[in-house]
Structures are given as C-alpha cells and as structure tokens.
Amino acid sequence: MKVLGINGSPRKDGNTATLIKIVFSELTKEGIETELFSFRKTE
C-alpha cells in the first residue's frame, strides 16, 4: 500500500506539513510507503 499526502498550504513548515510528517512517520513504522506532493508556490 502507498499513501499520498497533498499539502496545499502556502507555509513551508506550517501546521499542515507538521501533521503530515507525524502521520507519515506512523505509517512508515507499519511498513506503508508514503509520498508527499506540495503545491506551495516557490518564489
């Protein structure tokens, strides 16, 4: 199984990114692959 995380927050290390990292950490412990897509504008 693979889980896709999508982050649309404009803040690079904001609350959304922090929560995704926590969830991904737990999923990885269970042997589940994760991938993150961030749609933050890069300027």
Chain position carrying tokens 């991904």: 24
Chain position carrying tokens 């890069």: 42
Residue 26 backbone dihedrals phi, psi, to 5 degrees: -65, -40
Instruction: Say if residues 5 and 34 touch (Cβ distance below 8 Å).
Output: yes
pTM listed for this prediction: 0.80
Identity of residue 24:
F
Residues in the chain: 43
- The 10s digit of each residue's pLDDT in 3-40 is 999 999 988 889 999 999 999 999 999 999 999 998 87
Domain boundaries, the chain: 2-38
Residue 2 backbone dihedrals phi, psi, to 5 degrees: -135, 135
